[in-house]
Amino acid sequence: MKITSVKSRAFALVTASALIAALVGIAPAHAAASGPTCDGKTPVQTCSGTTSDGAPYVMEVPANFGGTVTIWSHGLGTNFPVPAGVIPIWPTGVPVDPRPFVAPSAFQTELATYILNKGVAVMGSGFSTQAWNLDEALKTNAELVGVFKTKFPTTSKVVAWGYSMGGGITQAFAEKYPELVDAAAVMNPVDGPNAELKMLGDTLWLFKTFFDPTIKGGNYKAGVPGDYEAIADIGKILTVLQALQAGVASGAWPATSSATGKALEAAGIPSRSAILLIGLLTGQSTQSNSFDGISGPDGALKLTFPLAISPALGVLENTATALAYGIFMLRDADAKYGGAVFDNTKTNYAALLSENDRAVYNAALSGTTAINGMLQGLSVYNPGAPRTVGTPAAMAKYAALYNITGKINVPTVMMVGEHDPVEPTGIVQRIADTNNAAIAAARAAARAAAKPSTSYTAPTNNLRVLWSTTPDTWTKFDATGTPVAQSNTPGTGHTNFTLPQYKLMIDTALNAAQTGKLPTGGAWMYSVAKAGGLKIDNQTSYPWLKYYGK
């Protein structure tokens, strides 16, 4: 994601840090192609311009350019700013940011220099529109590659890379335009638009249904009034998060809770059980930046904390980020497609809770009776849990957007955090499973074709997946037994990768672009180990997003 982040020393669950890290504003571009205009400097010249759809771009080309260029795709943004003085946590507001990036923003200078020193050019676009912009970004990237090749005709190889929304853009770009891409590095990619909408839309609906029914959570008004509705929702979410944190140990529900929530509280069901249920129904991890799900403080809660409390706290911390993404994604989708794109009138939430989760988290969910009571509260027959009705025309437009197939057309290396709160591991798992099925089918076809001649050529597997892993334990407690907020825990958070890991990804893709295949063997395995915090895991199977019913 293209990130504007603000650090906070306060407890991470309810501070604005998770929301601020999710928020970026991108100014709409002027729809007119221009450039590239180059400054002619050495040892690196910079070129800039706009594509025909008005997307601003930048190119950096070293004097020793060897014919290879990387194209970076940044993450999810929003098309409207947060004005100063509206939300206390953003006293000066959040300005729009139209700048194109050529590498991950946290390490842009370091990574751009690293790549340029190899004689490789870098480029990237700010895109013509933000939020869910897969279709627009594909057009922009295809045009930008053509612009670069025209300006620098010795170009022979193109490496696409990106994370978050940009990871999905990169995967889709390689799917749709394999003739333009020689290799790809994909990090924490989004899934298809409908799968992402279900995950984020359900998170918002469940959160407001239990804890504050005045949260609109989509179907916002047109124009500035709708922008302010979305901003108001953020304020309400922050208020609820603070109340939930305060009530985790006692089980108290926020004062803003719905009639359904208050009835559950009266029945003795603690708010932490509802928090955990939201995570399990949406596929959210119970492990987060601050909570490993294993550790407990010394004393009476040593065993109780990881069993009954930590899962809810992990979900709460992760959900704070997912809620922000959901607000900005739905606000923008409403504006782009002319109505509400999320609809859960036919969703059976009880069916989304797996039997395994019922068993594993039974104690944290307060037992079978409590589980059934909470699910009944989410039933379509409960008037206290009104469903969101989408706008048919808007839903049709949204459903017609490009869907990421998972087909691997070029050598591709992927990296994903084990406990990402926005793009769960199941997204990459779906791509890996799809690729494995394609390889198995190709292998069977090749064997059948080889029978007459006994000349068998094995199909090439063009996908490698690296999982960013967590430490064995990481939750910390102060002298009173209160958990202490953590940040940047490996394997958690959104696109929480290190500079060595990014270097490994781009090196792997650059190598594959030159050779036509992904590196293997001891040398590459050593480079993976040297980058740190990564594993190649072909045994673990992560569940796909709930949209797919797997």
| Model confidence band, residue 26 (pLDDT cutoffs 50, 70, 90) | very low
Q: What's the pLDDT score for residue 99?
A: 81
pLDDT of 318 over the 50 cut: yes
| Model confidence band, residue 3 (pLDDT cutoffs 50, 70, 90) | very low
pLDDT of 219 over the 50 cut: yes
| Model confidence band, residue 33 (pLDDT cutoffs 50, 70, 90) | confident
Q: Higher pLDDT residue, 77 or 381?
A: 381
pLDDT of 9 over the 90 cut: no
Q: Higher pLDDT residue, 405 or 450?
A: 405
Q: Higher pLDDT residue, 30 or 121?
A: 121
- Over the chain, what is the mean pLDDT? 90
Q: How far is residue 34's CA from residue 530's CA, in Å, rounded to a whole number?
A: 43
Q: What's the pLDDT score for residue 87?
A: 65
pLDDT of 12 over the 50 cut: no
- Name, in order, each residue with C-beta under 8 angstroms of 8's C-beta and a sequence gap of 6 or more: 15, 16, 17
Q: How far is residue 246's CA from residue 249's CA, in Å, rounded to a whole number?
A: 7
Q: What's the pLDDT score for residue 95?
A: 67
27-190+409-548: CATH number = 3.40.50.1820
Q: Higher pLDDT residue, 400 or 31?
A: 400
| Model confidence band, residue 473 (pLDDT cutoffs 50, 70, 90) | very high
CATH 3.40.50.1820 intervals, the chain: 27-190+409-548
Q: What's the pLDDT score for residue 89?
A: 62
Q: How far is residue 245's CA from residue 532's CA, in Å, rounded to a whole number?
A: 33
pLDDT of 231 over the 50 cut: yes
Residue 230, both tokens: 């979305």
Q: How far apart are the first and last CA of the chain?
A: 27
Task: Render pLDDT for 45-73 as a digit per residue (tens, 0 to 9).
Answer: 999 999 999 999 999 999 999 999 999 99
Name residue 520's amino acid: T
- What does the DSSP 8-state code read for residue 199? H
pLDDT of 75 over the 70 cut: yes
Q: How far is residue 462's CA from residue 440's CA, in Å, rounded to a whole number?
A: 13
Q: How far is residue 332's CA from residue 395's CA, in Å, rounded to a whole number?
A: 13
pTM: 0.92
Q: What's the pLDDT score for residue 188?
A: 96
The percentage of the chain sitting over the pLDDT mark of 70, rounded to a whole number, equals: 92
